Amino acid sequence: MSKILIIAEHAEGKLNAGVSKTVAAAKGIGGDIHIAVLAADPAGVAAEAAKLDGVAKVITVANPANANPVAAVLAPQIVELAKDGYSHVLFPGGTFGKDLAPRVAAKLDVHQVSDIMAVHSATSFDRPTYAGNAITTVEAPAGIIVATVRLASFTAVGAGNSAAVEAATVSATLPSHTRYVKLEAQKSERPDLQSAARVVSGGRALGSSENFKVVYDFADKIGAGVGASRAAVDSGYVPNDMQVGQTGKIIAPELYFAVGISGAIQHLAGIKDARTIVAINKDPEAPIFEVADFGLVGDLFQVLPEMTSKL
Amino acid sequence: MKALVSVKRVVDYNVRIQVKSDGSGVVTDGVKHSMNPFDEIAMEEAVRLKEKGKITEIIAVTIGGAKGEETLRTALAFGADRAIHIKDDGEIQPLTAAKALAAAMKKEDAKVLLCGKQAIDDDANQTAQMVASLLDIAQATFASKVEIDGDKATVVREVDAGLETLEVDLPAVISADLRLNEPRYLKLPDIMKAKKKPIETVSLGDLGVTLAAGLKTTKTAPPPSRSKGVMVKTVDELVDALKAKGLL
Ligand SMILES: Cc1cc2nc3c(=O)[nH]c(=O)nc-3n(C[C@H](O)[C@H](O)[C@H](O)COP(=O)(O)OP(=O)(O)OC[C@H]3O[C@@H](n4cnc5c(N)ncnc54)[C@H](O)[C@@H]3O)c2cc1C
Ligand SMILES: Nc1ncnc2c1ncn2[C@@H]1O[C@H](COP(=O)(O)O)[C@@H](O)[C@H]1O
């Protein structure tokens, strides 16, 4: 039977929403599911993790060195934890997991499975390649499996559990070659892009950060998170953490608005799991219309304010 | 101070990927290939660091079949001083690439490895981290700004929450994100000069790398297609349609 260790992503004492989705993937594999919380003070995060349905145990590793998520510091501790008979070590597939998981896999001398989007068995998984244009089914060789989970492919589990929380001590030498300096986070009152049920993204057509106001106004009217294409980010209209796509955020909202976005494959890679896609573009030939459930040809500077006023 | 830059030959990012009908993979024959876009960015960064006098020699490295030479020539045109072709006709998975790059780092006593954050064919996003792990050295992935000062580097990283800054001791592995720089346009004289620069060919075995059993791809399928949607003519029509589906 599988014994699965999930590494908890967290910040400012809060469990990241992706962990619950990672538990959903682990339930697909089946077996004992444990969550490890490595933190300076893990208690609060561990309590949240213990509530997730399907989790048998939460393991805490308290160490001041774990105050910030530095992969080189966390990896040797996770390697030690993994040696306790685990068949799988899973990471939520955001930048935290993508940075950390390969560092663990290499230490264990195993190939890693990136971005699990479906589970066929304990050793067989689907994952996207070529910006999601080819879905490959891979079979992992014998040995421990280290993987990241593509969060947009899984639905969060319930939070009615009360799993046991156990403190662990790990004896790993931690490196001093990497020093965390700071995080500049964009504080926003809007719903988080990755968990919002509705998202409105703007593209190059917005033309300036001032013009992005029409997107924000509409998003605020419908309670949506706000994203952007790479072109809009590169042009400096919005911060980088708003980029949606192959190399930005992969999202799965109920409703997605692509406004003034042409629909390059790299952008589409980030929105394939959106339930309903609405495209607003002045070019009837724009590729975004090929994937849109609803398309409206028009000038976004007229369409968006009109939508905002009519809702 | 030497820098290694890993460059991978991949299907060009503008190509519309076709999955073979028998599910055995994607069509790569007769399809345009180029240097992985993230590796172009890594290459450009190395050249800028050399121009600033932070590094003295740039060595481009690829692991793969004979055609990898084209990619190395592109790297040499960017400004690499020389290149290493680790030749192998098999499927090179990230752990294997990482072992080869780690061995090359040691052999050259390089102080920094610049990689792309992900190859746009396998979309694995693993190799840089694995090299750092194998060598027990620092990693700074998804870099959007790199400053080297003596034996330290300060790197700004694009993470989900915003921009994170790390300070790392060299040697280190740095993986490039999209906004690190905009790669230069290659000029004909540079492409001509690149033809004369040396490429050393070695095998994985020469570097002491043995192939372990990797992931086996059992099937490749196109993504589920989305059914064709409807075009509406007016804002009112759109709002009504979304309301009718309970979406607004
Ligand atoms: C390796 C790699 C990774 C990448 N990763 C990503 C990624 O993660 N995310 C991403 O988004 N891109 C990514 N890209 C970039 C991608 O290829 C496209 O360049 C980008 O998505 C284009 O952004 P855009 O649609 O906003 O701009 P454009 O392609 O310039 O499209 C602008 C659109 O706006 C329309 N328009 C103009 N004016 C108006 C108006 N007044 N009203 C309505 N419509 C109007 C135009 O008709 C056009 O369709 C990546 C590229 C590479 C090479
Ligand atoms: N076969 C290879 N040859 C050269 N570089 C590679 C190879 N495989 C991976 N890399 C490097 O590692 C980066 C990340 O690749 P990946 O982990 O496959 O997404 C790429 O951008 C390259 O810089």
Nearest residue to A243 (alpha-carbon basis) of B81, B131, B159: B159
**Torsion-angle region of A23 (φ positive above 0: left; ψ -120 to 50: alpha; else: beta):** alpha
Whether ligand 2 lies within 6 angstroms of the CB of B64 is answered as yes
| d(CA A169, nearest CA chain B) in Å | 22
User: Mean pLDDT across the stretch A25-37?
Assistant: 98
User: Mean pLDDT across the stretch A193-201?
Assistant: 94
Domain-terminating residue out of A119, A149, A167 = A167
pLDDT in tens, A75-126: 999 999 999 999 999 999 999 999 999 999 999 999 999 999 999 999 999 9
**Measured in angstroms, how far is the CA atom of residue A250 from the centroid of ligand 2?**
21
Confidence band of A159 (pLDDT split at 50, 70, 90): very high
**Pair (A241, A132) in one structural domain:** no
User: Mean pLDDT across the stretch A223-242?
Assistant: 96
- Partners of B125 in beta bridges: none
Domain ranges of chain B: 2-244
Pairing mode, strands B172-176 and A112-116: unpaired
Percent of chain A exceeding pLDDT 70 equals 100
- Chain B within 8 Å of A267 (Cβ-Cβ)? no
Interchain CB distance below 8 Å, A111 and B214: yes
d(CA B155, CA B235): 46
Residue at A172 is within a domain: no
Annotate A141-157 with DSSP letters as a single string: PSS-EEEEE-GGGSPPP
Q: How many domains does chain A have?
A: 2
Domain-terminating residue out of A146, A167, A188 = A167
**Pair (A101, A28) in one structural domain:** yes
pLDDT in the model for residue B99: 98
pLDDT in the model for residue A17: 95
**Pair (A294, A222) in one structural domain:** yes
**Pair (A152, A253) in one structural domain:** no
Domain-terminating residue out of A167, A182, A211 = A167
d(CA B174, CA B139): 6
Confidence band of A62 (pLDDT split at 50, 70, 90): very high
Chain B neighbors of A277, CB-CB under 8 A: 226, 229
Pick the atom of ligand 1 nearest to A288's CA.
49
Residue A90's SS3 state is: strand
Nearest to A138 among B134, B164, B218 (CB): B218
**Pair (A34, A140) in one structural domain:** yes
Q: How many Cα atoms within 13 Å fall on the side-chain side of residue A268?
A: 21
User: Mean pLDDT across the stretch A282-298?
Assistant: 97
**Pair (A42, A160) in one structural domain:** yes
pLDDT in the model for residue B45: 98
**Measured in angstroms, how far is the CA atom of residue A203 from the centroid of ligand 1?**
6
**Pair (A226, A274) in one structural domain:** yes
Residue A181's SS3 state is: strand
Residue at A192 is within a domain: no
Residue at A207 is within a domain: yes
User: Mean pLDDT across the stretch A120-138?
Assistant: 97
pLDDT at A37 over 90: yes
**Pair (A19, A67) in one structural domain:** yes
pLDDT in the model for residue B211: 79
pLDDT in the model for residue B228: 80
**Pair (A15, A142) in one structural domain:** yes
List of E strands, A57-167:
57-62, 88-92, 112-116, 118-119, 124-129, 134-139, 145-149, 164-167
Interchain CB distance below 8 Å, B122 and A129: yes
- Chain B within 8 Å of A138 (Cβ-Cβ)? yes
- Counting as low any pLDDT under 50, the low residues of chain B are none
**What's the token pair of residue B33?**
């290939």
d(CA A256, CA A248): 16
pLDDT in the model for residue A201: 98
**Pair (A296, A246) in one structural domain:** yes
Contact A75, A109 (CB under 8 A): no
pLDDT at A147 over 90: yes
- Chain B within 8 Å of A249 (Cβ-Cβ)? yes
Q: What is the pTM of this model?
A: 0.96
Chain A neighbors of B248, CB-CB under 8 A: 222, 255, 311
- From residue A134, alpha-carbon distances to A98, A131, A161, B139 in Å are 20, 8, 37, 29
**Measured in angstroms, how far is the CA atom of residue A98 from the centroid of ligand 1?**
25
For residue A289, the domain's CATH number is: 3.40.50.1220
| Host domain of residue A116 | 3-167
**Measured in angstroms, how far is the CA atom of residue B197 from the centroid of ligand 1?**
37
Confidence band of A188 (pLDDT split at 50, 70, 90): confident
**Pair (A134, A12) in one structural domain:** yes
**Pair (A288, A214) in one structural domain:** yes
Q: Domain B2-244 is in which class?
A: alpha beta
List of E strands, B75-197:
82-87, 112-116, 138-149, 152-159, 162-169, 172-176
Q: Give the ligand at the shortest distance from the Cα of A114.
A: 2
| d(CA B85, nearest CA chain A) in Å | 23
